[in-house]
Amino acid sequence: MKKSVHIILAMAVGIMIGAVGTALAAGEVVMATFQQLALVVNGQTVDMDEEALVYEGKTYMPVRALLHALGYDVKDEADTRTISAVKSLEALQDEIEKLSAAKESEHRAIADLDERIRVTEKMLNAATGELETAKAKGHAAVVGELEKQIKAYGEKLDELRQQKAAMVE
């Protein structure tokens, strides 16, 4: 039993010496970690097939994998030590489709706001007409309620117009 413990201990020491010798022979030893990171470009998560190397708070990613994930065709020119990247036709078409869909969605949202503004204006005008009638007939209780409604419609109308202005900018 003691003999097997000594053999295992000797092997462990030998492995550690060999590892240190190899590290010293290779030059500077650095501590870095590989991590699977989420890459988000313009709000879209991009799938990365390779892990990033993190060293001293900086992240290093393989250029080919990064460019490919972003939709580029990548070509390595070893003789000139150059990496060429050209956006692929499929990636460009995907971007155009996404932009078109976003623009269409924005147009629908603006049209929806326009409709809500129109309906709120109509309700405000109707309440204003009722207020004039209630004042003419001397219905004080109704006048107070209608004034509250008119104020609320006016505030809602301002809010809707501000939303639209923010979208149109």
pLDDT digits over 111-158, tens only? Answer: 999 999 999 999 999 999 999 999 999 888 889 999 999 999 999 999
Question: Three-state SS for 125?
Answer: helix
Contact of 71 with 89, CB cutoff 8 Å: no
| pLDDT number for residue 121 | 94
Q: Which amino acid is at 143?
A: V
- pTM for this entry: 0.49
Where in the chain are the domains? 1-29, 31-87, 90-168
* Confidence class for position 26, pLDDT limits 50, 70, 90: low
Q: Note whether 51 and 36 are within 8 A (CB).
A: yes
Which residues, 6+ apart, have CB-to-CB distance to 59 below 8 Å? 37, 52, 53
Neighbouring CB atoms inside 10 A of 39's CB total: 15
pLDDT at 152: 94
Q: How far, in Å, CA of 74 to CA of 49, rounded?
A: 15
Q: Mutual orientation of helices 140-168 and 89-137 as an angle, nearest 10°?
A: 160
- Residue 78 structure tokens: 């070893």
pLDDT of residue 24 exceeding 60, the answer is no
pLDDT grade, residue 38 (50/70/90)?
confident
pLDDT at 81 over 50: yes
- Say how far apart CA 39 and CA 12 lie, in whole Å: 41
Which tens digit of pLDDT belongs to each residue from 40-76?
877 778 777 788 888 888 888 888 888 877 778 888 8
For 90-168, which CATH class? mainly alpha
pLDDT of residue 15: 55
